[in-house]
Structure 1
Amino acid sequence: MGSGVWSTDVYDAAKKYRRATGKSAFSYSDSGARKVHPSLDPRDAMRESRDSTEHPQSTPIAVLFDVTGSMGHVPRTLQNKLPQLLGLLQRQGYARDPQIMFGAIGDATCDRVPLQVGQFESDNRMDDDLGRMVLEGGGGGQMQESYELAMYFMARHTATDSWDKRGRRGYLFIIGDELAYAGVKRREVAKLIGDDLGEDVPIRRMVDELVQRWDTYYLLPAGSHYARNSKVLDFWRDLLGQNAVTLDDLDAVCETIALTIGLGEQAIDLEEGLRDLERAGSTATGTVSKALAPLRAGRQAVVSTLPPASTGAAPTSGGVTRL
């Protein structure tokens, strides 16, 4: 996967066609589907981001979002703002050869479709994956969703040339508003992914494994049910440190993702990124600046402790992002 090139013209043509025919960008879900689409089924699946002649320096980017309850509108927001996200990553050169994968997270204790995982794509097929998602809107109502199950899949069912060839982590963004469960449950993994685990995996051990290959962020947007809940924010900051990011406006999620990657790739500093947003006509500069200020401070603190000759990526676990 990962061939081809994103085209805004193709995206706009599909949007105009849907408007003319009255079709939804999420036609699979809006048709009443209650089963995972075969192309997004995580069972016995491996998702790969690979280099090619067309894309020799692939940068894997995964965006997984909670689709339960008040979070069900997130993928629609992402779909509407895909051109802004891809424009910043590609035209502004924030990342070389970005390959984006979208996924959806529910609650494995009660939802019909608790995990959906697309492919890493460089072209408009990523939009197709969004359109195949079931926006179930369920959840158990106990302030917990199965984020840890998605983490397990990302840690053990992805392969990237970025890591295998260059030792560079990919980027993982989880968009949600609740707690993860205390651990990855072996019976849920067996049922949904097909692996036979000897035991459950505690959440902290899962995160430690995940961040070895994925620079991981949790985005907590305004407008969600637990957006201002200190328990949720404290939970994720305990796991990810400053990589648990709050957003005052959900509409800023694509810009936040793009600038986070630009900062991680050392393609820009925050002020340059904010100027890029202004030139692109974005109204999200204030939200993005506030959200990413802690990341900038964290990076500056890490840089100040490095020896003068240190260069390159610094993948570490916990809340310190790579430089």
Structure 2
Amino acid sequence: MGYGHWDDNAFQAAKTFRARRGLDDFGYTADMRTQHWSTWRAHPALDPRDTFRESRDSADHANSLPIAVLFDVTGSMGVVPRIMQGKLGRLHGLLRSKGYADDPQVLFGGIGDADCDRVPLQIGQFESDNRMDEQLRHILLEGGGGGQKSESYELAAYYMVQHVATDAWDKRGRRGYLFLIGDELNKPRLSARQVREVIGDNVGQDISVESVYRELAARWHVFYILPKQSSYYGDPEIAAHWTTLLGERFLRLEDPGAVCELIALMVGVGEGRIDVGGGLADLRDVGSQAEAVAVSRALETRV
């Protein structure tokens, strides 16, 4: 849980190895797609049932900062994890080389629809080294969803409240960063049945979505990023829903390719290491010219 160090050379070498052999970066998804959908399941490393995730300090990382990135993996949204995987080195480079976070520990996960998907929730572990790439590539890009303009974000929020512990909070009273990346609404209520079936907690009655997010905000800086990937990008109902829950931390991102840069900038600003202007300058400095424009627009158009 957060040991070791990121090695960009190893990351690039592994990516080149897979490309030369025609291997999918998301090999677990490719394997599942050779089987009947009824057998699909979360990779064992990301199965949320009866599990607990931790971000802890270590000799390598004495000031651990938890950063969780949970993707909606339904429909067209499955392209965003692929973008993130391809640019993972850029994310880590911005966090460390620009001094946005001393000891970032990153967790990845996937969100689906607990009403109809085989794998409605996937949660990895907090990592500081190249294992974060492995857990990201183990996400099943199910591509389902029920077509009712909602996914089970609230189920993921509940898990982050009840099944995650961090030294940042326990020792220092510092909140971590949670980025939800999707394009739809929460379900109307957090279903007690779905909590029991997917996570394994003995919850007796449904819970209001608002109360789950209130608890979540006590220990996490929570952002919802809406990439321009579907017809819901300009939907006023989506904007109103998430703005009511998160305020200015609801962000529209017109270029999904800038998701890493937006996450890094929000962490840097939140930690007081940079201001927005300085962060945009850093993006341009590392060659992310187009991404800097997209991030700037995302922040300018906050509701």
Q: Is the 8 A contact 1:149 1:184 kept in 2?
A: yes
How far apart, in 2, do the equivalents of 1:182 and 1:157 lie? 22
Q: 1:280 aligns with which of 263, 269, 286?
A: 286
Aligned to 1:67: 73
Q: 1:58 aligns with which of 59, 64, 67?
A: 64
Aligned to 1:268: 274
Query: Which amino acid in the other structure matches residue 190 of structure 1?
Result: R
Aligned to 2:187: 181
**Larger proportion of helix:** 2
Aligned to 2:103: 97
Q: 2:218 aligns with which of 212, 216, 223?
A: 212
Q: 1:79 aligns with which of 63, 69, 85?
A: 85
Query: Which amino acid in the other structure matches residue 134 of structure 1?
Result: L
Q: 1:166 aligns with which of 146, 149, 172?
A: 172
Aligned to 2:245: 239
For residue 114 of structure 1, report the CA deviation from its aligned partner: 0.3
CA RMSD between the two structures: 1.2
Matched, 1:291 2:294: no
For residue 294 of structure 1, report the CA deviation from its aligned partner: 6.4
2:257 partner SS: helix
Q: Is the 8 A contact 1:256 1:292 kept in 2?
A: no
Query: Which amino acid in the other structure matches residue 14 of structure 1?
Result: A
For residue 182 of structure 1, report the CA deviation from its aligned partner: 1.5
For residue 257 of structure 1, report the CA deviation from its aligned partner: 0.2
How far apart, in 2, do the equivalents of 1:265 and 1:224 lie? 32
Q: 1:200 aligns with which of 193, 200, 206?
A: 206
How far apart, in 2, do the equivalents of 1:294 and 1:165 lie? 36
How far apart, in 2, do the equivalents of 1:294 and 1:274 lie? 16
Aligned to 1:49: 55
2:232 partner SS: coil
**Aligned residue pairs, count:** 296
Give aligned-pair identity as a percent.
54
Aligned to 1:2: 2
TM-score scaled to structure 2, two decimals? 0.96
1:173 partner SS: strand
Aligned to 1:116: 122
Q: Is the 8 A contact 2:252 2:301 kept in 1?
A: no
TM-score scaled to structure 1, two decimals? 0.90
Aligned to 1:307: none
Aligned to 1:153: 159
For residue 291 of structure 1, report the CA deviation from its aligned partner: 1.4
Matched, 1:12 2:18: no
Q: Is the 8 A contact 1:247 1:288 kept in 2?
A: yes
Higher mean C-alpha displacement, 166-175 vs 67-76: 67-76
Q: Which runs of 5+ in 2 are unaligned?
A: 34-39
Q: Is the 8 A contact 2:73 2:112 kept in 1?
A: yes
Aligned to 1:314: none
Aligned to 2:133: 127
- Superimposed CA distance per residue, residues 183-233 of structure 1 (whole angstroms, 9 cap, x where no aligned partner): 211110101110001211100001001100011000001122311111111
Query: Which amino acid in the other structure matches residue 98 of structure 2?
Result: Q
How far apart, in 2, do the equivalents of 1:55 and 1:224 lie? 39
Aligned to 2:37: none
How far apart, in 1, do the equivalents of 2:142 and 2:229 lie? 18
How far apart, in 2, do the equivalents of 1:281 and 1:102 lie? 25
How far apart, in 1, do the equivalents of 2:189 and 2:217 lie? 16
Structure 1 residues 58 and 170 mapped into 2: Cα distance closer, same or farther (>3 Å)?
same
